Structure formats: structure tokens, C-alpha cells
Amino acid sequence: METTLRGVGVSHGVAIGEVRHMGTAVLEPPAKQIPAEDAAREQGRARKAVEAVAADLIARGNLAGGEAQAVLEAQAMMAQDPELMADVDRRIAVGSTAERAVYDALAAYRALLAGAGEYLAGRVADLDDVRNRIVARLLGVPMPGVPDSDEPYVLIARDLAPADTALLDPTLVLGFVTEEGGPTSHSAILARALGVPAVVALPGAGELAEGTVIAVDGSTGEVFVEPSAEKKAQLESAAAQRRAALSASTGPGATSDGHKVPLLANVGGPADVPAALEAGAEGVGLFRTEFLFLDDSKQAPSEEKQVEAYRQVLEAFPEGRVVVRVLDAGADKPLDFLTPADEPNPALGVRGLRSLLDHPDVLRTQLTALAKAAEGLPVYLEVMAPMVADRTDAKAFADACREAGLRAKFGAMVEIPSAALRARSILQEVEFLSLGTNDLAQYTFAADRQVGAVSRLQDPWQPALLDLVALSAEAAKAEGKSCGVCGEAASDPLLACVLTGLGVTSLSMGAASIPYVRATLAKYTLAQCERAASAARASDTAEEARTAAQAVLSGE
């Protein structure tokens, strides 16, 4: 009998296939004592296992490239954390085996994060994966992971670690469903990059029996269990219509009456550029530069290394617009040389621009490298700062850009409610705004963007979030300046129409989403988008806002 479940759709498309569950195993090693003379040998075993796991994660990242590479390199850094290894050594010294010491040390670290209010909860799945990989290697057992199958299937898991998601084979994994996670979790972002339909935060997903046929709609978040032939045909027809619309839609982003909305790509490094070009991106709306800094948590990359990497991306978009975000360290991206180690609430502490202003040499080197990378190129370079709270922050960043001799537009990201509320003041110091809707939702609703339990508050359709977007866009219009969106909200085609109606001047997203957004925008006039935006803001819940906007655009 057909039943319908609803989670959070995080990656467009429809997948119909049999359920296969993520492999699991009990990896808790026995607690037994070792003789004191064996301690040095066990410590050596632990170090070798840690290094092997870190090397494997880095190798997986190199294979995956793009955003996945940065995520996996960060996970490798987690495995090699000096304090963690010191704790493992201490536990072995008092009689634990290497595998038990690793298991207990990581369990203590996990409990510490939970006890801190789970501000770093997005790292818990990554941490569990690191633990399992090290312990499995020490025990000599296979690592739990993606199931072996000769036939395509829909993958079901409690959550997916980045190392698993990054190397999913889209010819076998038709789509995936997880019980946990949220729309801005690592797995969701990587699913969009792979173009694999995905639904997260679906309660009871783990109870779906192996072999059950399900249909996953990654756009709506619906999962149909044992769908009827009629439902399958309906979903497949809708998917075919979407594909036809995508192939027919080309050129710059615009509404049906010619209102231009540049569609830009979010990139995490040079490896993401080919997909952006193939999707017809008109430039880059968010160039994340963290990938360069994750190679070595002890020191910043040299100016020469930065120039080389930046120039690869800038050269790919001649006459195009490339918006670079300077290093956003802190919170879930700690760097030993930059971020404090003892912050009780890292997401509310010294992160983003705050870290850079505390370390002006790091900021100066990055800005100088960007200036040199752009020399002689016809690209339109724009540079923006993350975590701008007020005009003082904006002025400090703009001053630093000028001192570095940077010939570019300087901008501020709107990720903190204060920046949206005082956008006009901030625009006295900078030339554009860019809305990071993921963090803006997190700080508006006090809802960690990685915690599935509060995923409804991370929904970018929340009317309060739309109000802040409107405030920012209105301020930019009043000042004659631009206001883009570079958060994951821009990847939702229906929401892209609403954002356009709110006055947003450009949209940046993962490359895989660009054709969907381009095709949808081209169906409606600017006036229709504006009416849909008004209807969404007049609603009280995210679900009501989406329904209201859809009703306006469908002419109901």
C-alpha cells in the first residue's frame, strides 16, 4: 500500500528504486588491560592507524575535488588533532589497547561538543566517521559504508559522512535518504554537487525494509513507499518535463519579461570551475577560499600559492564577475594559527572577519594575492568579508582592501541579523551586499545549521528570513548598489523567483542547480515574482510561504 513520508528535499530530481541500507557494524572494542611494557607498541599502532586514515581521507578528497576535497581535508585534520592524540597516548599509558583508547578519547570529545550546546554538532557525524575508520583499521575489520550492489538502488542511512557522500557512484546510487542532517549539512551540499536526488531529516527512514521500492522527490522532500504504477508514471513524467525545460533553457538568467537576474556559481576551488562553465554560469557569486588554508592548520598558505589558485578561477571567467569571500575561519572550520582553542561558543565567537582583523597579516597577504592574481585580466573582481556585523566592521575591511592595493569592488556578507537591519549604514562603506542565507537563518532562529532536530528553522522559506532579505535588498536599491544571494536558498527554483521579487539582483548556487533556476525564472514576469514574494512574506510558516508563492505563480 502506497504511503507518503516527508523530510527535507535538498537536491533536485526524482529517484525510484529499491532500498539499500548503509552498512553498519558494532565497532566498540573490548575493554581489556595491557601490560605496561606493551604501551609503546600500542601507541605506535594508534599513530599509524591515525596517519593511514588521514591519508585515505585526503586521497578521497583529491579524487572527489571541489567542495568535497575541502570537507575531507578538514576531517583528516580532525583525525590528526594533537590534543586528541595526546589523550590517546595517556589512555594507553594506563593500560588501554590502542583501539579502546581511540574509541574512548573520541567518545569524550564527542560528549564535550554535546555538552557545549552542540554549536559544533555539524562535526559530530564527521567525528563518528573518523572514530569508526581508525578503530576498524586497528581491529582489522571492514569499514562500514556504502553497500555493494550490481543494481542501482536508493541509499538509506542515519546520516552520511562526507567521505561516503563524496565518492558515491551516481550510476548506482539513484538517490539517498537520511534520518538526520539538514539542508545546509555537508552531505546535502555534496549531494547537490553530485546531482543526486536527496531527502534528509526524514524520521523513521531507517525502518524502511531492505528491498522496499521507494520514490524520492528531492525537490519537495516527499518519499513515496511502494508507489503505485500511476504515481511512478506521474513522477517520471514530471521529471521528463523538467529535463526538457532544462535543455530548452539557455543564456543569461532573466524573467519572461526580460528582467535580468545574473545566475552565478558557488565554487570551492579550481576543481569546481568546469561544472560551473558547463552549467552556463555567468560568473562566480561565491568563491570559497578555505580550501587553501585547510592543507596546513599550523600556518597560512604563502602568497605565491594563493596567487596561483586564485588566478586559475579568475582566468576561467573573462569579462565575467567573480566574487571572492576572504577566509571564513572559526566555528566548524577551526585553524590552529588563527582561531582560539578555548571558545565556549565558537559559532558566536571570533570567526570570519573577526579572526582576520585579529590577524591583519593573514588578511593582508590574502588581499595582496588577490590583487596580483587579477593583474592583467579582464575579469570583474569583487571581494567580500564574512560575518560583518556593522558599519565599523565594513569600514575596517574596506580600509584593509585599499591598503593592499586591491582594485576591486569591496562588499559585505549579510549573515548576522544586525547587518540586515543596518544594511544601509553598512553600504556607506562597501559597494555591494551578498546574503549568506545559511548562516543568516542560523543566527536569526538560534538554530545550528547542522542539527537535524531544528531543520524546520533552517528552512529558507521562513517568513522572518524573507523579511531580512527584503530589508537588505531595499537598502541596496536605495543606495544604488547590488544585493545578491549566495546561500543555498538560491538553488531552490521557486524560491529564486521569490528572491527576485524581493529585489535581489543576482543569485549564486551550486552549478547543478543553475539550469533548474534559469528555466523556472524564464516562466514568470517580474510582477509575478513580486506578487509571489508578497504572498510568502504575508504567511506565518515556511510551509505556508511556499504554498502561497506557488499559488500565485501557478495562477490559482
Active site residues: 186, 486
Could you give the dihedral angle defined by the CA atoms of residues 109, 112, 116 and 120, in that order, rounded to the nearest 10 degrees?
10
Q: How far apart are CA 286 and CA 402, in angstroms?
A: 21
Size (the chain), residues = 556
Query: Following DSSP, what letter does each residue of 205-235 receive, concatenated?
Result: GGGSPTT-EEEEETTTTEEEES--HHHHHHH
Which helix or strand (DSSP H or E) is residue 167 part of?
Answer: none
Closest CA to 135 of 89, 92, 95, 100: 100
Q: Which three cell numbers stand for residue 546?
A: 511556499
Give the start-end residues of each E strand in 425-550. 432-435, 482-485, 506-509
Q: Which three cell numbers stand for residue 83?
A: 590534543
Q: How far apart are CA 147 and CA 216, in angstroms?
A: 19
Q: How far apart are CA 67 and CA 190, in angstroms?
A: 7
Contact 147, 23 (CB under 8 A): yes
Residue entry with cell 554549536:
119
Question: Using H for helix, E for strand and C for coil, what is the string for 467-518?
Answer: HHHHHHHHHHHHHCCEEEECCHHHHCHHHHHHHHHHCCCEEEECHHHHHHHH
Q: How far apart are CA 7 and CA 29, in angstroms?
A: 34
Q: How far apart are CA 470 and CA 489, in angstroms?
A: 14
Question: How buried is 257 (Cβ within 10 angstroms: 0-12 exposed, 13-18 middle, 19+ buried)?
Answer: exposed
Residue 44: count other Cβ atoms within 10 Å of its Cβ. Answer: 12
Helices (H), 65-123: 66-79, 82-93, 98-115
Q: Which amino acid is at 75?
A: Q
Query: Following DSSP, what letter does each residue of 453-466 receive, concatenated?
Result: GGGGGG-TT-HHHH
Contact 322, 104 (CB under 8 A): no
Q: How far apart are CA 122 and CA 448, in angstroms?
A: 8
Neighbouring residues of 139: CB distance < 8 A, sequence distance ≥ 6: 27, 29, 99
Q: How far apart are CA 174 and CA 195, in angstroms?
A: 10
Q: Which three cell numbers stand for residue 534?
A: 508578497
Residue 424: count other Cβ atoms within 10 Å of its Cβ. Answer: 16
Neighbouring residues of 547: CB distance < 8 A, sequence distance ≥ 6: 539
Contact 537, 470 (CB under 8 A): yes
Closest CA to 35 of 94, 90, 102, 98: 94
Rounded to 5°, the CA angle 115-116-118 comes to 90
